[in-house]
Structure 1
């Protein structure tokens, strides 16, 4: 493999993954906030709904644009398994981060944003590494 080609591919995929992640995070945070603040749902329920819609957005964008992969039942099931694990990281991090931050006296809206960014960031790094190195490895 030519060194520049591999680095360029990694850079391109990482950039696209970040862009799709931002779009999906906006979807995710929007649903989370609406469920929590407009509908009065619990932290876990709100975050779960947001996570589901954000995850669906991310999968569709990443499969088609970031990794340029054909539809595959195997890949879809692998992504579902991956998202199940990162769901626990994401929702758990959000819940306990929110509780910790609001316990420090931060306003709820700020606790929401910080807890969301930290938990989402952790899940995003894990998702990119696993999707690039395992799930979509041969799709380039």
Structure 2
């Protein structure tokens, strides 16, 4: 059963965890897209998988102080699947919107997609997933 972590503490921990995971996600996305010339959607997809897996492991243990649970793991994977589609879709849409292949605009695309997924993930994890028994 998850310990009751206060909202302020949970938000701070979630943001710190998310920032670290976003650095992993962004770094891999940019490396694959610009260093190895991958399609932006594929680069973002692999970055997302690395970032969200890291975030789940840290959030389960530190942010929400929850014991391992198969039901919780499945719920988080379903949430991540939904936010994966949203995040990669937003990133790819903005990448196709910009007139040029530009690293600054890729960073803007990334921030918009990441921000959207972060809000959705926090709300669903705090209100539903880590309240599961």
Same fold (TM over 0.5): yes
1:51 aligns with 2:45: no
1:63 aligns with 2:60: yes
Which runs of structure 1 show a deviation greater than 2 angstroms over 4 or more consecutive aligned residues? none
Distance 2:17 2:125 in 1: 14
Distance 1:42 1:98 in 2: 10
Q: What is aligned with 1:16?
A: 13
Report the 3-state secondary structure (helix = DSSP H, G, I; strand = E; otherwise coil) of the residue aligned with 1:41.
Answer: coil
8 Å contact kept, 2:21–2:51: yes
**What is the RMSD of the two structures over their aligned residues, measured on CA atoms?**
1.6
How far the C-alpha of 1:22 sits from its partner, in A, is 0.2
8 Å contact kept, 2:66–2:130: yes
Q: Deviation string for 1:12-64 (max 9, x for gaps)? A: 00110001000000000011011111111101110011000001110011001
- The higher-RCO structure (CA 8 Å, 6+ apart) is 2
Distance 2:28 2:51 in 1: 8
Moved more, 38-47 or 120-129: 38-47
How far the C-alpha of 1:138 sits from its partner, in A, is 5.3
TM-score (norm 1): 0.88
Q: What is aligned with 1:3?
A: none
Distance 1:138 1:17 in 2: 18
Distance 2:127 2:82 in 1: 17
Q: How many residues align?
A: 130
Q: What is aligned with 1:116?
A: 110
Distance 2:10 2:87 in 1: 22
Give unmatched runs, 5+ long, in structure 1: 1-5
TM-score (norm 2): 0.92
